Structure formats: structure tokens, C-alpha cells
Amino acid sequence: MGFWRGAAEWLGLVNEDRYGDYDEADQELTEAVDDYDEHTEASVTDIESRRPVNPTPRVADLTRIITVHPRTYNEARTIGEHFRDSVPVIMNLTEMDDADAKRLVDFAAGLIFGLRGTIERVTGKVFLLSPQNVNVTAEDKERIAGGFYNQS
């Protein structure tokens, strides 16, 4: 009920009969609800069946792998944009303080979870983020990371 209608009722200018305005539209709606078949099922499409499936992972093009040396957490956007475009990203956090590095690793973990990628620790503060369906071989990881990739 609107403000003016309530004020008019309070002043006694209109009738307070709130249920007297039952019209044909309300009657049609009531009949439609009564006629609803409770056994009618809606069709549901699984989200996974609508996604294009690429069963074989493609090998990463080494010219498209990006190495990022962030100094602040604000550079997380750059990492996310490249990763979202299916470009593997090496995150070298050695130039960051520990608190911001932890935040950036948390961001990367959410990023790879949301986009179904993988994250691997290369060294203490160097991580490789690989998008879904992109395969970076062990030899490529060692070459990209400058020879300090630990395979154990």
C-alpha cells in the first residue's frame, strides 16, 4: 500500500476495505496456480556438458609463458589477466615482503581453482601457474626457471 493511500485511509477519505479490489487478474492467477501440474519437471542441462571439452592438453608455447616479478600486491591483476588468457605464468615473488607474497599466493590459488588450472612451487618464492589443458613439460620448467627447478 502506498503512502498516500494509507494517509487517505487514516484521514477517512477512502474506504479501508483492502480486500474489495479483488479483480479478474487475481482470479486468473489463482486459477493458473490451481491448474499447475505438480508432476511437471523442468529440464536441467549439466554445465559440464555445455563446456567445450579438450581431452588432450596442449603443450605450452614457450614464447607465450610470462614471467612476472611483482613488487606489490597490486600487480596481481597482470598475473590474473595473462592466466585468464590461457598463458602460463611464472610468479617470482623474491622481490616482495612475506606478507604481500602470501597474499599473492592466496590470490593465485583462488585463480587456479576458479579457472581449473594448476600451481607448482619451483623454489621457495617462485611458482608456475598453468592454465587448464596446458601442459608444461619438466624440461621446459627447468629451462624457463633458469635451471633451478627442483624435480623432487
* pLDDT (0 to 100) of residue 150: 46
CB under 8 A, 24+ apart: contacts of 135-138 = 135/57, 135/58, 135/59, 135/60, 136/59, 136/60, 136/65, 136/88, 137/59
Q: Is residue 127 part of a domain?
A: yes
Flag whether 48 is in a domain.
no
Segments forming the whole domain that contains residue 125: 57-144
Would you state the pLDDT for residue 147? 52
Over the stretch 123-134, which tens digit does the pLDDT of each residue have?
Answer: 889 999 989 877
**Residue 131 and residue 87 in contact, taking contact as beta carbons nearer than 8 Å:** yes
In a domain, 13, yes or no: no
In a domain, 50, yes or no: no
Contact yes or no for 144/67 (Cβ under 8 A): yes
Residue 72 lies in a domain: yes
Q: What was the pLDDT predicted at 13?
A: 78
Query: Over the chain, what is the mean pLDDT?
Result: 75
CATH number of the domain that residue 120 is part of = 3.30.110.150
Q: Is residue 85 part of a domain?
A: yes
Residue 24 lies in a domain: no
Residue 62 domain flag: yes
Total count of domains within the chain: 1
Give, for all 152 residues of the chain, the pLDDT tens digit.
Answer: 577 777 777 777 777 665 555 566 666 666 666 665 555 566 666 665 555 555 554 554 555 788 899 999 999 999 999 998 888 999 999 999 999 999 999 999 999 999 999 998 888 899 999 898 777 777 766 766 565 444 44
